[in-house]
Amino acid sequence: MRRPLVVGNWKMNLTTREAAALVESFKKAVEILDRTDIVVCPPYISLPCVHACLKGTNIKLGAQDVFWMEKGAYTGQVSASMLEDVGVTHCLVGHSETRGRFGKLEVSETTLCYFAETDETVNLKVRRLLYCGMTPILCVGETLGEREAGRTDQVVRDQLSDGLAGLDEAELHPLVVAYEPVWAIGTGHTCDTAEAQRVCAMIRAFMCGISSELAASTRVLYGGSVKSSNARDLFAQPDIDGGLVGGASLDAYEFKDIVMSAR
């Protein structure tokens, strides 16, 4: 049986002091929970501080991104071994915002080339994380235009196929997949529960093409305006094993209620 997983993505929010305060409030609320895996992903700068705050708890530390090279002249990048050194066990890969695919655009369109993630770089990052014994959380999802064009399934399949290219069943067992419809990220719009389940089932069917055992064990999360008011219905679906939570993870008690919904 797949164990529920809830991941909080703090994005570019909170100073180190604010991050520590949030963890202190949140960990007290969930310290009695032992049937759900919990991961929080603060900005790079807060990773050491948050790691220290999480010691002795059942909450794991995640990162929001990684670079695929071990070391070198890559100004501004952070390697998997650097993340591991500060206690990171999980890492988001290919989030729509690193791909330059925004549900709610708050930067100029002329700057979107700055967000240059591709399926090739996603694949390189997944490979590096697996090599280092860490858990990649591969994010996939379609834009509003792609959905309206009837291309949701093809876009998601392509992201999975290219992102996992060259990896075999034995290597992929730690993998987590997060379905995040881009049009629902930061917009307040949530994918209809039945449709979220359909796409997550399609993701599981894709994994079944690699092996039935991998499909049965891979945890598939839903992300995109997850909040306590909709989490229970989403997490009750047979192919949704938890959530990738954005803004709601910045509220300790809201996030606690979401985690409770995944039990």
User: Between the CA atoms of 51, 57, 63 and 68, what dihedral angle is there, to the nearest 10 degrees?
Assistant: 90
**Annotation says 189 is catalytic:** no
Judged by DSSP in three states, 113 sits in helix
**Annotation says 180 is catalytic:** yes
From its phi and psi, is residue 224 left (phi > 0), alpha (psi between -120 and 50) or beta? left
Listed in sequence order, the DSSP H helices in the chain are: 16-30, 47-54, 80-85, 119-131, 144-148, 152-163, 169-172, 193-208, 212-217, 228-235, 252-261
Task: Please tell me the distance from the alpha carbon of residue 137 to that of residue 129, in angstroms, as a whole number.
Answer: 10
Task: Please tell me the distance from the alpha carbon of residue 5 to that of residue 221, in angstroms, as a whole number.
Answer: 8
Q: Which of 132, 90, 85 is nearest to 6 (CA)?
A: 90
C-alpha dihedral sign at 157, 223, 130, 114 = positive
Contacting residues for 259 by C-beta, under 8 A, at least 6 apart: 6, 30, 33, 36, 38
Q: Which of 83, 185, 65 is nearest to 126 (CA)?
A: 65
* Residue among 97, 146, 180, 254 flagged as catalytic: 180
* Residue among 95, 142, 146, 254 flagged as catalytic: 95
Q: Kindly list the catalytic residues.
A: 95, 180
